[in-house]
Amino acid sequence: MKVAIVKYNAGNTRSVANSLIRLGVDPVVTDDAEVLQAADKVIFPGVGEASSAMNYLRQRGLDTVITLLKQPVLAVCLGMQLLCASSEENDTECLGILGDRVRRFPDGIKVPQMGWNNVSALGSPLFHGVAEDSRVYFVHSYLVEKGEHTVANATHGVEFSAAVVHDNFYGVQFHPEKSGGVGATILDNFLKM
């Protein structure tokens, strides 16, 4: 199985790659459109800032490439937010795969949310074998509100989408590569799709 990790102006590709290696997959980290299109699975990770990440994607034509991918795509943290139409983070236009607008946590709620939190209302094969209210690791200051594509919730002052699904695009706000056995199960479920 060929698994490609999208290389762009956002961190965390190494820890995602290491998690996949532990699951027996040797991924390629790339910003080459042809390699991404030829992969069996694509992971779109991210730790960083929305506008600089989108600028990198646009400069390389990857914004269009990603939206046209037909194989399963797993977007992590900033990657999930970039699936949306736009973000309040520097008023950024994103990929538009989901119609949502990414919002900053409301005033009075400590940001970033950093650490372990529960996920609930698990409604996707991504969570096969994951117990309700399992704990996963989050680091974020922006959120995707609950909506039609939400398949898991979390609460940090307000309830928000911990995971979304639209067609072949799966997004998780948390970091499965930093979420121990639960995260490994989620990554393994994605690899088996």
pLDDT in tens, 110-158: 999 999 999 999 999 999 999 999 999 999 999 999 999 999 999 999 9
Give me the catalytic one of 89, 94, 149, 177. 177
Helix (H) or strand (E) holding 44: strand 41-44
DSSP letter for 131, please.
Answer: P
The mean per-residue pLDDT over the stretch 12-26 comes to 94
Give me the catalytic one of 34, 49, 77, 145. 77
**pLDDT reported for residue 165:** 98
**pLDDT reported for residue 105:** 98
Q: Is the peptide bond before 112 cis (omega within 30 degrees of 0)?
A: yes
Kindly state the tokens that stand for 30: 């790339």
Residue 10 has pLDDT above 80, yes or no: no
pTM of the model: 0.97
Nearest-5° angle of CA 36, CA 46, CA 87? 105
**pLDDT reported for residue 38:** 98
pLDDT in tens, 23-73: 999 999 999 999 999 999 999 998 889 999 999 999 999 999 999 999 999
> Taking Cα atoms as reference points, which of 9, 168, 163, 6 lies closest to residue 77?
163
**pLDDT reported for residue 11:** 74
**pLDDT reported for residue 78:** 97
In angstroms, rounded to a whole number, what is the distance separating the alpha carbons of residues 27 and 8? 15
Kindly state the tokens that stand for 103: 């919002």
The two beta strands, 169-172 and 158-166, are: antiparallel
Q: 156 forms bridges with which residues in the sheet?
A: 158
**pLDDT reported for residue 138:** 98
The mean per-residue pLDDT over the stretch 3-29 comes to 93
Q: Among this protein's residues, is 77 annotated catalytic?
A: yes
The mean per-residue pLDDT over the stretch 164-170 comes to 98
Give me the catalytic one of 140, 149, 156, 175. 175
What separation in angstroms does the CA of 107 have from each of 102, 104, 112, 136?
15, 9, 12, 24
The mean per-residue pLDDT over the stretch 75-89 comes to 98
For 15, the 3-state DSSP assignment is: helix
In angstroms, rounded to a whole number, what is the distance separating the alpha carbons of residues 17 and 112? 24
Nearest-5° angle of CA 52, CA 58, CA 61? 145
Helix (H) or strand (E) holding 172: strand 169-172
**pLDDT reported for residue 134:** 98
How many CB atoms sit inside 10 A of residue 104's CB? 14
**pLDDT reported for residue 47:** 87
**pLDDT reported for residue 85:** 98
* Domains recognised in the chain with CATH numbers: 3-192 (3.40.50.880)
Residue 93 has pLDDT above 90, yes or no: yes
